[in-house]
Structure 1
Amino acid sequence: MSSSTIPHGADQRRGPLRPGERVQLTDEKGRMNTITLTPGGAFHTHRGFLPHDDLIGAPEGCVVTNTIGHKYQALRPLLSDFVLSMPRGAAVVYPKDAGQIVTMADIFPGARVVEAGVGSGALSISLLRAVGDGGYLHSYERREEFADIARGNVETFFGGPHPAWSVSIGDFQDEVVKKEQPGSVDHVVLDMLAPWECLDAVATVLAPGGVWINYVATVTQLSRTAEAIRADGRFTEPASWESMVRGWHVEGLAVRPDHRMVAHTGFLLTARRLAEGVTGLTPKRRPSKTEFAAEDGQAWAGDAGAWNAEGIGERLVSDKKLRRAAKDAASTVQRGAFKDTPEAGQRPE
């Protein structure tokens, strides 16, 4: 396969370990650390140090020994590892949900996809992998700081700008109808507070049969989005679900569920665009319709009188933290990898 036909970023996933790459070190107790390979550098702990030169040029999956005999296995981090340890300003879409979005929205190589908001870029990376170099992903983000963080993380993961990706700043419902032709988009992916506000915009750009998938955090958002789609009539009956992942401890006869699990992270809701001028079928059996008055939308928003992150219980992110995360994301692009840092969810030695 010639270099021109290799999918973007694929060459970074093969071959011996190289300077500037991220490497995940796992010791005999399962503790993980992610380091950046630097000629002449070393990974230090209170149990000795490991020269980076022992890893540079070695095959992926090797086992190396530090200065006092402590052993590590070395592997390139998976996408799920990257997402949970990369610089972030907003909460990321967890790998379990990103996988569901790619599969349940039927996102295929070469697809035309739009998403909002981009957050820290975690979902964007999964979408870019799915559409491939010949696809199209246009991400819309209201805050420039989040867009900067996402650009840094995407470029770090793929080793540079992805040819299928572009980012626009502004409100999705206003910008998408300016930049996309009517009926030209295969999939719309929304990770935002009030997706029901985008009904007209989504119906305009989404092709007949195209999939609209929403990622929301609370049951109030889920209910209001579903009822708005039903009332609109231009989409199929919405389907809603959540996924939960529970690991298992398997060691000899000691086989049991883990004490901790990744439970609720968000709800997913999908619907498909019907042909122009067609009204969707109403299911014969369904719960009585819930009407939403203006005050219903304000009930969870405090004094602001509108749906916002604070109103639904999300943590607010300070401008200082966003600037720091954007700086960290940009620096990883320049260095080609992460600085030495404990893996997400793990304690450093």
Structure 2
Amino acid sequence: MTAIDPNLRRGPFRVSDRVQLTDPKGRMHTITLEAGKEFHTHRGFIRHDDLLGAPDGSTITNTVGVEYLAIRPLLADYVMSMPRGAAVVYPKDAGQIVQMGDIFPGAIVVEAGVGSGALSMSLLRAVGEAGRVHSFERREDFAGIARANARAFFGADHPSWTVTVGDLVEALPGAVEAGTVDRVVLDMLAPWECLEVVADALIPGGLVIAYVATATQLSRVAEALRDHGGFTEPHAWESMVRDWHLEGLAVRPAHRMHGHTGFLITSRRLAPGVTPPLRKRRPGRGYADVGTEEEWSAEDLGERLPSDKRVRRTARSIGEPPRLP
């Protein structure tokens, strides 16, 4: 595969570059530059040709005198505006996963649940071309959208990325050798169902981090990690981001904030044959006590799944033909 050219993220604007345009009211529009095309709003238009060759961080005035800031979008900007099949992992959570999951250059990482590829791109940036990200996605149409989004951002198919369409429990043992994976990232409905294959794949001291939407899922994952016996005591948290309004002396918190998006829970893989130290506090009732063995669905957890029609429309918009089972 072609190596990723870092110069695609710097230098003058070129054909096929994505450019973020911000108007005087702070409204943002992301366009892909093409020779001869125009970007229209209800207040005039901008010719793409006027941006080609301009330096990153330029300003441009449209046909009725409205001035726009033109700048390449950051990865955080890109994932919030790119075509979506499934919901994306927000940048605030992706940053936590990369940092608290200790995703390092050269790491071998397994990701379950690709969605639209937002988290995959953060993982690929962290491992670099010396590492490897093995992603697993049950839906082929979601996998196609994720590949197209990553290709548009990196400028080529990332050489460190493999996307497998299938169930993690069934596909992981054939994709990686046992005891060779450094990190496992689980963004799925029922992470507790795959802890056995995750434990087999991880190196001693390796880390698993799960991203779940509800407290019910969080509790179930924690109980399963403890019951397995091959992991350290799990640690869980969530992050919230509150922007601030900066206008002269009016410096105050913004009226809106990025509140709860999901919980994160981590645990480390113990060496073979090692049991975790005995917990000294009295455990509460677990799922084994209340008998909840039924299969969960996204609707049970309050998630709104995209319709097949919307996914097909998204796939067409990015030139990736949808492939449904």
TM-score by length of structure 1 reads: 0.88
- 8 Å contact 1:224–1:292 — kept in the other structure? no
- Measured after TM superposition, the shift of residue 9 of structure 1 is 4.2
| 2:313 corresponds to | 324
Change (3 A) 1:291 1:45: closer
- 8 Å contact 1:128–1:164 — kept in the other structure? yes
- 8 Å contact 2:84–2:116 — kept in the other structure? yes
Higher alpha-carbon deviation: 18-27 or 107-116: 18-27
Q: State the alpha-carbon separation in 2 of the partners of residues 204 and 44 from structure 1.
A: 54
Q: State the alpha-carbon separation in 2 of the partners of residues 11 and 252 from structure 1.
A: 37
- 8 Å contact 2:145–2:320 — kept in the other structure? no
Selected match of 1:245 from 234, 241, 247: 241
Change (3 A) 1:218 1:208: same
Aligned residues: CA RMSD: 1.6
Q: State the alpha-carbon separation in 1 of the partners of residues 103 and 52 from structure 2.
A: 37
Q: Give 5+ residue unaligned stretches, structure 1.
A: 299-305, 333-349
Q: State the alpha-carbon separation in 1 of the partners of residues 320 and 298 from structure 2.
A: 29
1:16 aligns with 2:16: no
1:209 aligns with 2:205: yes
Q: State the alpha-carbon separation in 2 of the partners of residues 131 and 232 from structure 1.
A: 28
| 1:336 corresponds to | none
| 2:78 corresponds to | 82
Selected match of 1:310 from 295, 299, 313: 299
Q: State the alpha-carbon separation in 2 of the partners of residues 208 and 21 from structure 1.
A: 43
- Measured after TM superposition, the shift of residue 178 of structure 1 is 1.6
Selected match of 1:258 from 236, 254, 259: 254
Read off the aligned partner of 2:299 and give its amino acid letter. Answer: E
Read off the aligned partner of 1:88 and give its amino acid letter. Answer: R
- Measured after TM superposition, the shift of residue 316 of structure 1 is 2.4
| 2:93 corresponds to | 97
1:52 aligns with 2:41: no
Higher alpha-carbon deviation: 262-271 or 314-323: 314-323
Q: State the alpha-carbon separation in 1 of the partners of residues 62 and 302 from structure 2.
A: 46
| 1:290 corresponds to | 286
**SS of match in other structure, 2:288:** coil
Selected match of 1:163 from 159, 162, 170: 159
Q: State the alpha-carbon separation in 2 of the partners of residues 75 and 331 from structure 1.
A: 27
Deviation per residue, 1:32-88 (Å, 9 max, x gap): 111121222222223222221211101011111122221111000111111011111
| 2:138 corresponds to | 142
Aligned length: 320
**Aligned residues: percent identity?**
63
**SS of match in other structure, 1:282:** coil
Q: State the alpha-carbon separation in 2 of the partners of residues 30 and 317 from structure 1.
A: 29
Q: State the alpha-carbon separation in 1 of the partners of residues 120 and 175 from structure 2.
A: 18
- Measured after TM superposition, the shift of residue 149 of structure 1 is 0.8
- Measured after TM superposition, the shift of residue 293 of structure 1 is 5.1
Q: State the alpha-carbon separation in 2 of the partners of residues 297 and 219 from structure 1.
A: 17
| 1:131 corresponds to | 127
Q: State the alpha-carbon separation in 2 of the partners of residues 318 and 64 from structure 1.
A: 38
**SS of match in other structure, 1:213:** strand
Read off the aligned partner of 1:34 and give its amino acid letter. Answer: T
- Measured after TM superposition, the shift of residue 331 of structure 1 is 6.0
- Measured after TM superposition, the shift of residue 313 of structure 1 is 1.0
Read off the aligned partner of 1:318 and give its amino acid letter. Answer: S
- 8 Å contact 1:235–1:271 — kept in the other structure? yes
Deviation per residue, 1:249-281 (Å, 9 max, x gap): 011110111111110110000000000000011
| 2:184 corresponds to | 188
